[in-house]
Amino acid sequence: MKSIKRELFGPGPTNVPDSILQALSLPTIGHLDPEFLRIMDETSERLRYCMQTQNALTFVLSAPGSIGMETGLVNLLEPGDKIVICINGVFGGRMRDICERVGAEVVSIENDWGTPVDPDELERTLYDHDDVAVVAFVHAETSTGVCSDAKRIAEVARKHGCLVVSDCVTSLSGVELRVDDWGLDVVYSGSQKCLSCVPGLSPITFSQQAVERIKQRKTRVQSWFCDISLLMSYYESGEKTRAYHHTAPVNSLFAMHEALRLVEEETLETRWARHTAAASRLYSRLESAGLELIVDPEYRLAPLTLVRIPEGTDDAAVRGRLLESKSIELGGGLGKFAGKAWRIGLMGQNATAERVDFVADALISELQ
């Protein structure tokens, strides 16, 4: 197969560092090999740092981020359980879809696309509803480029005795995220965003309170694959008794092990600051060229910027030409923003001044 080199400035995947691709292509070993179990343990330990948590049940799911979302939600909910979902984009809407399929009683709070989740509205909703078990929201909405105040949202939810599920697919390692300090009970992410790893894996963590709730379920989770109780025995027991559940994607997990090592090496604080600095540079470059950003400065998600497509500009034509002439991928709009905005990702190794200039130069000259 011929190699195609793309410059990935869409909503993910992003470009993957060579050392991660090298780890990916190491010879495959068995999923029950003691060496592999050691690598899994080390990966969980690195992930705890990356997520800023001490949760025992912290690991990488063997499937894309959408399985992270599903696993996070369906384990906490039984039919009839009440959940409040804060929706401000595509992925909040997907949370609702998943919860409705479980037969949960869903209370939605909808905020405008391009604006963050409103913690005060959440608080009012929680005063109005008894017996809400879980509050779920998206920390970093990949469809709108908005970052919500996860700390404040969790504070409100916990005050009302709710567990908190946070979608951190596009925030993990690119934006400040402190699972334990902020009191988030279930957090999941994707491999292909700010971790700069290959797509296909979903890091996830469960607090002890979440684990307790799962242990007290009266019904089984309908999805066998997503039923975390079957995996808990694997992750909680010692090496000797680890039971077979499914065949882990060994090579992709090698890649994740390396991706998380790079995060440790850089340190989280430096990595967050790097994403912020790159984003600021992009904002200046685009605004100087007369382009309009969709999200208010206060709520912008550093790893993903939404740019309004100028009046009269052909969305698909511009993206097509950038791809063909410069091998640059920009993201199109999703949902309500389809045809109205471009999504420019600066994730992982692409969050540098040099890469910002590269993509900004290309887009601006294309529009002239």
Segment 88 to 117, residues that bind a second copy, using CB under 8 A: 94, 97-98, 101-102
Which span sits near a second copy by CB under 8 A: 28-36, 122-130, 272-280, 357-365? 28-36
Which span sits near a second copy by CB under 8 A: 150-158, 177-185, 215-223, 276-284? 215-223
As a whole number of angstroms, the distance between CA 156 and CA 124 comes to 10
Angle between helices 228-236 and 208-215 (to 10 degrees): 120
Q: For residues 62, 65, 67 and 70, what is the CA-based torsion angle, rounded to 10 degrees?
A: 150
As a whole number of angstroms, the distance between CA 299 and CA 141 comes to 11
Q: Cβ 10 to a second copy, closest distance in Å? A: 6
Q: Cβ 40 to a second copy, closest distance in Å? A: 13
Q: Cβ 11 to a second copy, closest distance in Å? A: 9
Whose Cβ is closer to a second copy: residue 226's or residue 263's?
Answer: 226
Segment 302 to 361, residues that bind a second copy, using CB under 8 A: 323, 329, 334
Exposure string for 168-181, b = 16+ CB within 10 A, e = fewer: bbbbbbbbbbebee
Residue 129: its H or E element: none
Whose Cβ is closer to a second copy: residue 127's or residue 244's?
Answer: 244
Residue 33 engages a second copy in binding (rule: CB under 8 A): yes
Q: Are 95 and 77 in contact (CB under 8 A)?
A: no
x/- string (CB under 8 A) for a second copy, residues 166-205? ------------------------x-x-----xxxx----
E strands, 17-160, where? 57-61, 82-87, 105-110, 132-138, 140-141, 146-147
Q: Cβ 255 to a second copy, closest distance in Å? A: 8
Which span sits near a second copy by CB under 8 A: 128-136, 149-157, 239-247, 271-279? 239-247
Whose Cβ is closer to a second copy: residue 65's or residue 89's?
Answer: 65
As a whole number of angstroms, the distance between CA 202 and CA 182 comes to 21
Whose Cβ is closer to a second copy: residue 247's or residue 288's?
Answer: 247
Whose Cβ is closer to a second copy: residue 143's or residue 207's?
Answer: 143
Whose Cβ is closer to a second copy: residue 119's or residue 190's?
Answer: 190
Residue 141 engages a second copy in binding (rule: CB under 8 A): no
- Count of residues binding a second copy (CB under 8 A)? 69
Q: Cβ 19 to a second copy, closest distance in Å? A: 9
Residue 35 engages a second copy in binding (rule: CB under 8 A): yes
Segment 46 to 85, residues that bind a second copy, using CB under 8 A: 62-67, 70, 74
Report helix, strand or coil for 306: strand
As a whole number of angstroms, the distance between CA 210 and CA 76 comes to 7
Query: How many helices (H) and strands (E) would you count in the chain?
Result: 13, 13
What is the DSSP pairing of strand 202-206 with strand 186-188? Answer: antiparallel
Q: How many CB atoms lie within 10 A of CB 266?
A: 13
**Pick from 89, 80, 85: which is nearest to 125 by CA?**
85
Q: Cβ 67 to a second copy, closest distance in Å? A: 5
Whose Cβ is closer to a second copy: residue 33's or residue 236's?
Answer: 33
Q: Are 29 and 247 in contact (CB under 8 A)?
A: no
Tokens of 46: 């690195």
Kindly list the residues in this chain that would bind a second copy in the complex (CB under 8 A): 1, 3-6, 8, 10, 12-16, 21-35, 39, 62-67, 70, 74, 94, 97-98, 101-102, 190, 192, 198-201, 220-226, 244-252, 254, 257-258, 323, 329, 334
